[in-house]
Amino acid sequence: MINPVGSSELQPLFVYDPDTHHKLSHEAESLPSVVISSQAAGNAVMMGAGYFNPLTGFMTVADAMGAAEKMTLTDGSFFPVPVLCLLKSTDEIGDAKRVALRDPNVEGNPVLAIMDIENIEEVSDEQMAIMTDKVYRTSDSEHPGVAAFNSQGQIALSGPIQVLNFSYFQIDFPDTFRTAVEIRNEIKERGWSKIVAFQTRNPMHLAHEELCHMAMDRLGCDGLVIHMLLGKLKPGDIPAPVRDAAIRKMVELYFPPNSAMVTGYGFDMLYAGPREAVLHAYFRQNMGATHFIIGRDHAGVGDYYGAFDAQTIFDDEVPAGALEIQIFKADHTAWSKKLNKVVMMCEAPDHEKEDFVLLSGTKVREMLGQGIAPPKEFSRPEVAQILIDYYQSIK
C-alpha cells in the first residue's frame, strides 16, 4: 500500500487507548478552555483522523507562512496550507500552557482536544494578507473561504494536540464518516492495490459517475473511494445527508460489488481552488489512495480560478517528490448526443456545444424544485428522485 505523507505509518492524533482517553477527558474538565473556530475544529478532526499526517499539532506562524508561501514548513517538510488555531483573544486561557480546545459546532461545546501550548503569537495584518493571497489567490471578502479565514482572529496558538472526539461527524454520519486509519484498513480488507479517490461536495450526476468509471478503467484500478466532505459548505449547497443518500443509491445500482466505497471526512470547505486540490491529494494519499481525480475547477467557487489551475499547480508549484499519489487529470464530462454516451469534452474535438447535454446548476435546481427529473442523459432517475424529494421538502 502507498505510504502516508512523511512517514511509513499513519500517526493519527486521536487518543485510542481507553484508559488514556478517560484520564485525559477527566483532566480536560479542570483545564482552562477556549471555544475555537469551526476551521480550527476541522483542522483538529483531520489531525485526529490521520489525514494531516505527520503533523503533531497546530502550526507556528513561521510554519504557516512557509506553508502559504512555498508549501514548505521550517523543517523542510511539505504541507500545502496553513493549519492554524486562531483566536480573537486569550482572556479565557491567560498564560496557561495546557488547555482544552472546545468544539464550536456541538451544543454545550464539548472538549475536542487538549493542547500543550508552545507559542502564543500575534499574526500581523501583513501576514494574514500574505496567507490569504497565497492560499486563496484573492483578498476579496466575498470569497467564502477568505471570509472564514479572516474572521477567526489574529492570535495563533501552536503546539501538539491530543484529540478526544471527532466533533459531530461520527454522531451525525455514523455510516459515512471514516478516519484515514479506517479507510486504509478497509482497503486492505477488500484486497485493493490500486485505488482512485473522488472528491465531492455535491450529489453525483451521470457525468461524475462515468468519470469515475473512466478513471478506474484507464488506470486499471480495483477500487474507488468516493470521499465526500461532511463539514460546513456555503449557503445553498445540498446538505450532506441528502448527498450521502443520493451517492449511495448510485453506487448500489451502477457499480459492481466490491468496487466502490462511500465515505466522508470532517472538514469545512475552503473553496481555495488549486491550493485546496493539493491539500485534497495530500490527505487522499494518507488514506491510502494511489490516484486522485481532479477535474475542471476543482474546489473552486465563483470565477476566482481558471478551469484547470487545480491541475497545473501539481506541475508548476508542488515541490518534486512531495507526493507519491498520482493525479488523474480530467476535463468536463457530459453526454454526447453524437456518440450516445458520456465523454470528456476535450476528447470530442468534432463536437459543438449543442452536441452535449449541458444543464446549469441553477437550471437543475429549478427543475428539481418543480418536481421535474433532469433528462436521463444528465442524471440517474433514482438519484434525481432523492433530490426532488429534498427540494420539495424545503419549499
Compute CA distances 382 → 103, 221, 276, 304, whole Å: 37, 26, 31, 34
Residue type at position 34: V
Contacts of 321 (CB under 8 A, 6+ apart): none
Residue keyed to cell 477556549: 34
- 284 flagged as catalytic: no
Query: Which grid cell sits at 362?
Result: 441553477
- 137 flagged as catalytic: no
Residue type at position 361: G
Query: Which grid cell sits at 270?
Result: 475552503
The helix or strand, by DSSP H or E, that contains position 63, with its residue range, turns out to be: helix 61-70
Residue 86 bridge partners (DSSP) = 156
Helix axes 240-254, 381-393, angle to 10 degrees: 160
Per annotation, catalytic residue among 202, 243, 258, 365: 202
Omega prior to 54 cis, within 30 of 0: yes
Compute CA distances 388 → 1, 120, 197, 230, 242, whole Å: 40, 49, 27, 21, 10
**299, 270 Cβ separation under 8 angstroms:** yes
Residue 209 bridge partners (DSSP) = none
Listed residue (348, 362, 356) closest to 206, CA to CA: 356
Per annotation, catalytic residue among 190, 201, 248, 365: 201
With residues binned 3-state (H G I as helix, E B as strand, rest as coil), the percentages for the chain, rounded to 5, are 35, 20, 45
d(CA 91, CA 74): 29
d(CA 350, CA 352): 7
d(CA 189, CA 351): 44
DSSP string over 200-266: ESS---HHHHHHHHHHHHHHT-SEEEEEEE-S---TTSPPHHHHHHHHHHHHHHHS-TTSEEEEEE-
Active site residues: 201-202
